Amino acid sequence: MNVESPFRSSAEKPVRDDPDLPRVSPVVDGLLPRIRAFRRDIHQHPELSLEEHRTTAKILELLNCAGLEPQQMESTGAWVDIGQGPIVLGLRADIDALPLQERTGLDYASVHDGIAHACGHDMHTAVMAGTALSLQQILSGQSVLHTSGLELNGRVRIIFQPAEERLPGGALQVMKAGLLDEVPRILAAHCDPAFDVGTIGTRIGAITSATDTLRITVTGHGGHTSRPQQTEDVVYALSKIASEVPAVLSRLVDVRSAVQVVWGHISAGAAPNAIPSIGQLSGTLRCLDADAWGAAADLLDQVIRQIAAPYGVAVEIDHVRGVPPVVSTEKETDLIEDATRFEIGSRAITLTPQSMGGEDFAWMTQKISGAMFRLGTRTPDGPIYDLHQGDFNPDERALGVGVKIFTAAALRALAGVQ
């Protein structure tokens, strides 16, 4: 097991304010109308994975107008370096939308039927664009902050990543393009409607789950239900696989890795008195430990075939490997938390539960040190929304919170505080 212990109370740690570092709130607050308008434009024109051409163009336009020199990735997505010298920190946002119908009724709701930013990637994109704008103002001396006495050395690389929603994820394209080769550490955030706006959730160790997709096809000689002994009973074999695989797997893998197989679809036949010749079962494998995730593929294949063997059916297994867990390191989590204490306050930080959801930022944290935090988007006492639902409507005040945290974290890295 390599899951790092996450049990730490942020409130127990002292506030490590550095008096030489200015608070960035005045800069960020001045940029908020622009950031909000940018987010609403992205929200109104969502684009699916690897189709984010307009979104990419809008990012490039905004950053170019601020005097930055952003670069486009091979197809969609972009990146920009801010500062001078070696890269000291990477920041990442995902930019794609989901194939869902929006049901918010907002004035700036999606203009594309069946496509919506129901996971908050428009928020992530706007937060990171706002971070780029605020850092540019601060480092170029255009802001109201006094940084002339500070030694801010190095570059911050901000990556606007495509295709997070398409397994195995656009993070692999970022890495293939070499955009992490010079980056020593990286941070990211994800909207979370379980946390009130103005708060964040952090966790050391696995903060998300490894996520795979399973599709099992079972075939055999069907027949009449009055003579099952003359058939290869596809329905019975499917039912045994569906019920026994999760139980058997839990006895073969360390329970602390939280391996979980959950089925979402099962189908076979149509008539009550006919045993069909084909059936299908599909679901997901989720796991909180990278080592257990790596071993699960071979184990699953063996278990499924062994369970089906007594019934004489043929089994075809399509195991689509997804993403490993996002593992947040202690040092990078400290950077996020100290930036939050400095800008927002200690009470803003909460220990987040481990999520069984998948996130392709995990590929980046496998390559270099990194951390992800949950950005609270729930309006206190307001409606309760959920991610990947058409009515998801985050509180836009979270934009300022996210920009302040990332900007403050970047300044701490540039100043060599952490």
Binding region: 119, 121, 165, 190, 388
Question: Residue positions in the annotated binding site for Mn(2+)?
Answer: 119, 121, 165, 190, 388
- How many Å apart are CA 68 and CA 64, to the nearest integer? 5
For residue 91, the cross-strand partners are 158, 187
C-alpha distances out from residue 90 to 15, 245, 409, 410, Å:
24, 40, 11, 9
Instruction: Work out the end-to-end distance of the chain between its first and last CA atoms, rounded to an integer number of angstroms.
Output: 28
**How far does CA 392 lie from the centroid of its chain?**
16
Q: Where are the alpha helices (DSSP H) in 215-373?
A: 234-250, 290-308, 330-343, 361-367
- How many Å apart are CA 187 and CA 206, to the nearest integer? 14
CB 106 within 8 A of CB 15: no
CB 91 within 8 A of CB 73: no
In this structure, which amino acid lies at residue 80?
V
R_g of the chain computed on alpha carbons:
24
Work out the number of other CB atoms within 10 angstroms of the CB of residue 226.
8
User: What is the crossing angle of helices 397-415 and 121-139, to 10°?
Assistant: 50
Tokens of 259: 């391996």
